[in-house]
Structure 1
């Protein structure tokens, strides 16, 4: 019976109903998009947050992820300006999901930076740093533009700064100024203020001041009240420490004016605290107490989230229900005018069954596809492991052949020469001068044999690396190459006072040795720079040369074992690496970052005395 009803149902009526429903849904979501943008521009944060909520109630799988991510960001920042941390974070994470759907590396980078800043504003610096670094890795891997990379670098730096790690903060701040191409100064105005703030905390006042004035000048061009407030606050602290209290007071007053214009509770809170500390330092206790009271009031308003949220959400739900009811009445009126209600129910039922059936088929196909992909991935992993094992075996066999050749060519000839000298000594006529000459030649041969033994031992496992560690081992390696007079190798080491584990030191030494030897062999450089820098949570190795550039993609399909050995050793210590080079351009940079937590530094750990490579 159902089939016959469908058969005689007018096609025009079915199409009219479907089209009307789609138009109503589309109109609703477009309306809430425009309404959210209008309320955000008007800085009506509470209403903006509710409009964004209504937008997502209308969203579906056809919603453009770029627009959805933008609306989630508006809702997140509205909640942040209202001092509602959990709500801000929840909307920021929702925006991250939509950004991932968009496949836009710049949008994804922006969203990671937003989450890191939210964690920073509520003093959860470890989570802020973690999200920032994860976003930076994805941005660099997906070729996000330098402007969005600058946003992520800034979010990492400010978390390190307020975490009490100024050196790491400056490291990431200065990375912004080294981006190529460098973003427009207006897009990175925050960087100048943040560098000035970090320099201020390390009492480098004269260095901080020009960065802060630059930040103020750039913020004024865009009427960025938030950044102007931050920069004037930092400038006030600089002049306070310089003893210029009148100027400092004027700057703190300016900071308060711009914080109010920015309409940010978080910025007002921090500004009142800085003003309170300033007046307290000058002995102006009445003003200090007044500002401290304002700070405490705003701070309490931020952290009394649960009670305030209950009333605001009830009000928002009430208003939302009223608007939703109006939309439903409009949609119902359109449906009644376009089609018969019974036919609509019938069509909806058939469509629902069809969707369920197609969903089941899609789910089964998706599971089958995932299993096939998993199988292919495992097969690829096995192939890679076999390739690494093959490379290791070939490397060991090559090492044995080289060792045998060294012994045969070097020691074989020296031993033969020594045997001839001894034979001459036995058959000499007995003259003392003749015997002394033979003895002196024999001593020279023994000295050459000793030198040959040292060279062979160095190639197998440098004694300096075993006894004194990675930095001394690399310096000795560079010194030996410099003795040839054909190349200049410079080694710079920072923060490497402690030894690392055997696996890490040997792996890094072999990586340096393999990379430098291949560079000399194929790139014909004049100079090579090796830099080792230890940070709080990672060790950075950078090797730069001025030789011929090449296409880094050829490394993935290289037939030799050199690059395979480098990859294998780096993977064993969980390192990340990057090769920057271009055909036709002089110079190549090889960057390796290794997490410090992977390093073994136990007091009882010692190197094994071996005669072969690890």
Structure 2
């Protein structure tokens, strides 16, 4: 007996918003951990599921309750506790039906179907699968996560036919399963599909194809670190080897599979290994050992309600009794096998599944026909409405045409007049801003000369007129006069800007500002073409100077980062501070000379400015882009 892979659909997404006061991050983390541990440690996943349910229940959070039920049910399914798993999936369905959560409803019905199939209730399982497909089909276009769940429906429907020995139909579903999984590029689904195809090709007697698919599935499960899938693949490969009479190798693979099933743990997988070990020892004429493993398979399968393994193990045990000459026990055991077999595989079951499929497909086609008729009627109505609209529009266009032309001419004239007025106003404002800026510079220069330099000269005169001239004091005064004169000259026009360029000048400006000690100014420059920006470097420097001055006055910052970067044909100046934010619109609409000076200089340089800030938010940035023509270095002949 080969193992087919059943993949649980644990679909996670941001749940509905919750009005109460609780830790949503804790819910997200519990969901994340429960899903991550499902493959490697179902017990841990179950504990996290119960914790999630308890927390959600305490906070009256239905979506969290449903997720808790799903993880608990999935953990029981993973370990072969199918009836318990069905109970929790039903509880999840109740909550999700209340929430009208179609994605989770479809996934829960699919998971329930897996459990029903595993316990031999094939007609109920088929019904649950078709209900899941119907739900998921309606949301696949809007919710991409529904696609993988829908793909898994082909897997489970294939299982229904597999356990009822209709292997041709099984193969059709599993081939479709692999095709859809490959399109979706889902490696876990691809691995599962290969395992399933290996199982069905085995039943069809194509052992080469069976081994080919089993090896592919094993490799992918190993890469994904999926112990359950890897155990399934190891068991399937062992069965392929048995058909090749490579019994020693087959026994090794079965025992590897047994170890991995026990690690999960998964009693269903363990019971299947027991059955296959019984089959292997029967073929190698170790009848007592074979009977031991068959009995272990029957006992464990009875505990977990796995009738398929019980049925096959009873048949194997009957053959063992016959081989040992105990025909009475062989007959009684075979009768037990028949009883279970009749309950699992009979014509009514197959017919009912087929009827369900036909009903589903019929309903699907009927829905499509209804949608098509509705679409045709809607198109006809729209066509008539559009014809009427076209006629009305044609009449309106004819009536409005001349009026529009007249209106257009009037608007064109007004726009031209307004544009001229705006240009005149802007020109006047720019001139006024330049004059005002010059007057401010002159006033400040005069004040600096009077207050700083004038006072120092007076002090020096007093010092010289004293009878005893102190050389140290005179030298100190001369040094102070030189420093004041240098500072005044720096404010008027930094020599560094003229002699060394923009980056050195801005670096010197940051150095001067850092000496004040209130704000830390940092400068980064990269790939600045000083030759190309030479014509506009003074304007750029003044803009930077103005912006830094504004930050000092208004921002309440303690760190300012200035970055000047040469781009392809552009210079980018980025100034960032960690101070209080402001309203950019008020900045742009300011009537102050600062903004007008910046705007005038940017207009002359064809530059642009972007401001990222808002009132009440820390951290602001100003980005300026200035285009320039890069000058190529002259080649030396």
- TM-score tier (shorter): 0.3 to 0.5
TM-score by length of 1: 0.43
Larger radius of gyration: 2
TM-score (norm 2): 0.42
